[in-house]
Amino acid sequence: GCGGGDGGGRGEGGGGGGRMEGGGADTPASGEGGGHGWRPGEFKEANCGVWLGSAGCVTPLHYDLCHGFLIGVRGTKRVTYFAPGDFRALYPRANQPELSQVDLDLWRQGGEGAEGTAAGRAERAAHPCFAEATAWHATLSPGDALYTPPYYWHHVETAADEAALSVLVPFDPSAEEPVHACHFR
Residues 5-52 have pLDDT tens digits of 433 333 443 333 334 444 443 444 444 444 445 455 666 777 789 999
- From the number of C-beta atoms within 10 Å of its C-beta (0-12, 13-18, 19+), residue 112 rates as exposed
- CB-CB contact of 147 with 79 (8 Å): no
- CB-CB contact of 175 with 119 (8 Å): no
Query: Which residues of the chain have a pLDDT value below 50?
Result: 4-36, 38
**Would you tell me how many other CB atoms lie within 10 Å of the CB of residue 74?**
12
DSSP summary character for residue 105: H
pTM of the model: 0.77
CB hemisphere CA count around 80 (13 angstroms) = 22
